[in-house]
Amino acid sequence: MESEGPKYEITELANKWLKGTITPEEKAYYEKWYGAFDDSETNFQYGKSQSAKQLGDKIYAVLYDRIQETKELGNKKHVLLRWTAIAASILFFLSFGAYFLVNKKEQLQIAHYKNDILPGHNQATLTLANGQKIILGKGLSGTLAQQGNTLIVINGKNTISYNAMDKKANVAISYNTLSTVVGEQSPYPLILADGTKVWLNAKSSITFPVAFTGKERMVKITGEAYFEVAHNSAHPFRVIVKNQTVEDIGTQFNINAYDDENVIKTTLLEGAVKVFVPTASTSARKDQVLLKPGEQAILNHDEFNVANADVEETMAWKKGYFRFNNENIQSIMRKLSRWYDIDVQYTGTISDEKYYATSSRYKSISEVLKMLEKTKGVHFKIEGRRVTVMQ
């Protein structure tokens, strides 16, 4: 969660910035706000002949659309307040006249690097029990395969589901794996045989039975996955990830467990989950925490800490954007490397200062890097698929 601190009027800070009277604390606050405002997404085409009113009309239209989007996302008060602050700041700049705004925008316009890298895409690979691989992308429909008594079906091009042909028939246990590589995320949710929905982020996988038998429903994951579990208290649903087990109690949750991260983060959105470290016996539990909605369990070397979660940051990948909240550049570059399929190198001394920024996952990497350069004193160089970070 973002820590509470002094509050400032954005238009007042903008005025101080222009006059050169802004204090270091005020500048840090303004940079944090500006980093969260992805101005490149407006994609305005400015011309010196445009009037302030014409520019204002364009900006108003974009702001109106963004505010309506935030309402659809849950009418979150602090999100609406952020867009209100953006509107106030833009109107402040408009008061200086169209010529100033045009030239200021030209200075801030995002310029592509000589070499650029396109973002990842929506695709996944389904590996059947016999080793057959099916590439999942947009446009598929109908029955993809049959696994024993179960049909694998693309429903309305929006989900892939496992449907039993005869629910009373004896089912031989077999396992499938849905996986994504670097630069991919699942194009639509996977619906397991029990109705549970699963989404995969980049470089992730889930291994699951084509039908659930017995008292437990067990799946294994790597990387990052979001679950909406079909709750059944008589048949608990458990997710095995590395040395941690997550058990649902009527739940929506996200698990982040990449190999290049030091901790495993389990974030609860709805319901409740038990998170525990099993011992040699799967029924025994070395350590256990019970999460409430909005909480996050952080497992580090078999020890749990529970903290309030930034749910917007956690779910950003599923909604199609990056949200960097108090993260250093190394953490940010790990996320970018999974989506853009890049090799990251560092030269010189890289500071541990923190970044606050939001950007679409569907921009080219140069746009994201330019945004980071505007926020802090960091620079980048792209050579092929290698990105060098410089202070």
**Three-class DSSP category at 382:** strand
pLDDT tens digits for 13-37?
766 665 667 777 776 676 666 555 5
Longest dimension (CA), the chain: 77
pLDDT band at 165 (very low <50, low <70, confident <90, very high): confident
**Class level of CATH domain 121-312:** mainly beta
Model pLDDT, residue 315: 96
* Average pLDDT value for residue range 245-265: 93
Model pLDDT, residue 388: 95
Model pLDDT, residue 91: 52
**Architecture of 320-390 per CATH?**
3-Layer(bab) Sandwich (3.55)
- Of 87-96, 153-162, 165-174, the range with the lowest mean pLDDT is 87-96
Tokens representing residue 214 in the block: 């017995």
CA 64 to chain CA centroid, Å, is 24
Model pLDDT, residue 229: 94
Put residue 10 in one of left, alpha, beta given phi > 0 → left and psi -120 to 50 → alpha: alpha
The answer to whether residue 222 scores a pLDDT higher than 60 is yes
Q: Which helix (H) or strand (E) holds 190?
A: strand 190-191
Name the percent of the chain in helix, strand, coil, to the closest 5: 30, 35, 40
Q: Where are the domains of the chain?
A: 10-108, 121-312, 320-390
Phi, psi of 13 (to 5 degrees): -65, -40
* Average pLDDT value for residue range 167-171: 67
Buried b (16+ CB within 10 A) or exposed e, 262-295: eebbbbbbebbbbbbbbeeeeeeeeeebebebeb
pTM value is 0.72
Residue 245 CA to residue 241 CA, distance in Å, equals 6
User: Mean pLDDT of all residues in the chain?
Assistant: 79
Strand partners, 295: 308
The answer to whether residue 164 scores a pLDDT higher than 50 is yes
> Exposed, middle or buried: residue 156 (CB in 10 Å: 0-12, 13-18, 19+)?
exposed
Which one has a higher pLDDT value, 306 or 285? Answer: 306
Residue 229 CA to residue 194 CA, distance in Å, equals 9
The answer to whether residue 289 scores a pLDDT higher than 70 is yes
pLDDT tens digits for 96-120?
444 344 444 433 334 446 678 999 9
HSE-up of residue 288 (Cα within 13 Å, Cβ side): 10
- Of 195-199, 276-280, 354-358, 361-365, the range with the lowest mean pLDDT is 276-280
- Give the pairing of strands 386-390 and 343-347: parallel
Tokens representing residue 232 in the block: 């059944």
- Of 145-149, 239-243, 319-323, 336-340, the range with the lowest mean pLDDT is 145-149
Tokens representing residue 194 in the block: 């029990």
**Three-class DSSP category at 357:** strand
DSSP code at position 375: H
* Average pLDDT value for residue range 73-96: 51
* Average pLDDT value for residue range 353-367: 91
